[in-house]
Amino acid sequence: MSVELSPEEQYRWITKDLQEVLNAQIIKDVLEKEKRPLRLYWGTAPTGKPHCGYFVPMIKLAHFLKAGCEVTILLADLHAFLDNMKAPLEVVQYRAKYYEFVVKSILTSINVPINKLKFTTGSSYQLGEKYTLDIFKLSNIVSQNDAKRAGADVVKQVSNPLLSGLIYPLMQALDEEHLGVDAQFGGVDQRKIFVLAEENLPSLGYKKRAHLMNHMIPGLGQGGKMSASDPNSKIDIIEDPKVVRKKVNSAYCAPGDIKDNGLIAFLEFVVQPIQELLADKEGVFKLEINRPEKYGGPITYTSIDELKADYESEKLSPVDLKSGVAERIVDLLAPIRTQFDASPEFQAAQKNGYPEVNPKGEKKVKKSKDKGSRYPGAGKSESPAPETAPASATETITETLEYTKLE
């Protein structure tokens, strides 16, 4: 447990396998001088359905918890709306709930205790007076150019960018103060926003935070890209084994090429770290491939390097790599699927968060100008959330799709 770890050991867990750490001294001071748990947060915007890439930050959350950190997960619902309305207000609260279920079930599936994790939604505090005033204060310090650049790798880039894309990074910077943390964790794609926060929070009289960045892992598409428009390039966390096998089978995977190979990257950044966590031992790895007899029969790899070497020399073929990886993904998703099947609330969050779009190709609904007052958090105290999404949710999704097509 954490109390037994020295500050050095805690620091090692906190920074394990990261691509970059900014202001490491802030972390060391908390651990060594203040001798208290590091407080940090990871934010995610509940937009599309979470996919297998979500295992990667979950592995880090496991490390943070091992180091005794106080970890907050921000379900950044308003950010999901601000990012080109990727999540319409009518459904965003359900998506936030869905993300919370997914995060909890991934973590429990890899034996990570979740009782110490704190979940919060952005709308629970970002609509308050103090926060709003802070946005205005920051908007008088940060130039339009700097806000735009800060969001360039995170906010969807469109031909006629909306003002929301400038507000997004300012709010992410402010979240560090309003969540009361010492550090923020995210993918290295968040780097420019992290730097914006470091450079500007002190002007508002707030502390500069440390920033922890994970590697970005490639998806299954060509060039390792994960693309929203190519459903085969990503595997949802709740996905049928049959679909998993089909998607893995159609993954881009050039013979002998170990670079830009989404499947090998998945083994390296997901499968191995999870096996290490479960075994509580570094360097463990096992992949069994049920190769047909005529191609050499079943084979078991106990090291990634050995697997890579065989793939590079074409001793291991793309078909066999795919079948081995597909079965590992099926195994990883099975306990999560079990939790989903056992929880009507989990299922309702998915159904309401992602209502089917025009299942019968019905006529598209005309865009309504009045967005109403159904912002997340509105009327929260008066009535509990309805069990089903408002009827307008489906319409809004259609609008979003049309909007996307116009770009």
Residues that bind ligand STL (CB under 6 A): 43-45, 47, 74, 76, 79, 172, 175, 187
Report how far residue 226's alpha carbon sits from residue 47's, in angstroms, rounded to the nearest whole number: 15
> Min. distance of Cβ 187 from ligand STL in angstroms?
6
Of 76 and 237, which CB lies nearer to ligand STL in the complex structure?
76
CB closer to ligand STL, 76 vs 287: 76
Residue 21 DSSP label:
E
As measured in angstroms, the least distance from the Cβ of 109 to ligand STL is 19
Least distance (Å) between residue 101 CB and ligand STL: 17
Structure tokens at 402: 């049309």
> Closest distance between ligand STL and the C-beta of residue 50, in Å?
9
DSSP 292: -
Task: Tell the smallest beta-carbon distance from residue 104 to ligand STL (Å).
Answer: 17
- 155 or 287, CB closer to ligand STL? 155
Distance CA 285, CA 278 (A): 11
Least distance CB 172 / ligand STL (angstroms)? 4
What's the chain look like in SS3?
CHHHCCHHHHHHHHHCCCCEEECHHHHHHHHHHCCCCCEEEEEECCCCCCEHHHHHHHHHHHHHHHCCCEEEEEECHHHHHHCCCCCCHHHHHHHHHHHHHHHHHHHHHCCCCCCCCEEEEHHHCCCCHHHHHHHHHHHCCCCHHHHHHHHCCCCCCCCCCCCHHHHHHHHHHHHHHHCCCCEEEEEHHHHHHHHHHHHHHHHHCCCCCEEEEECCCCCCCHHHCCCCCCHHHCCECCCCHHHHHHHHHCCCCCCCCCCCCHHHHHHHHHHHHHHHHHHCCCCCCCEEECCCHHHCCCEEECCHHHHHHHHHCCCCCHHHHHHHHHHHHHHHHHHHHHHHHHCHHHHHHHHHHCCCCCCCCCCCCCCCCCCCCCCCCCCCCCCCCCCCCCCHHHHHHHHHHHHHHHC
Q: Which is nearer to ligand STL, 43 or 377 (CB)?
A: 43
Count of beta carbons in the 10 Å neighbourhood of residue 229: 7
Q: Kindly tell me which of 123 and 317 has the beta carbon lying closer to ligand STL.
A: 123
> CB-wise, 101 or 285, nearer to ligand STL?
101
Which CB atom, from 151 or from 324, has the smaller least distance to ligand STL? Answer: 151
Q: How far is the CB of 202 from ligand STL (least distance, A)?
A: 18
- Beta carbon of residue 165, minimum distance to ligand STL (angstroms, whole number): 12
* Least distance in angstroms from the C-beta of 211 to ligand STL: 11
Nearer CB in complex with ligand STL: 118/366: 118
**Minimal CB distance residue for ligand STL:** 43
Query: Among residues 190 and 350, whose Cβ is nearest to ligand STL?
Result: 190
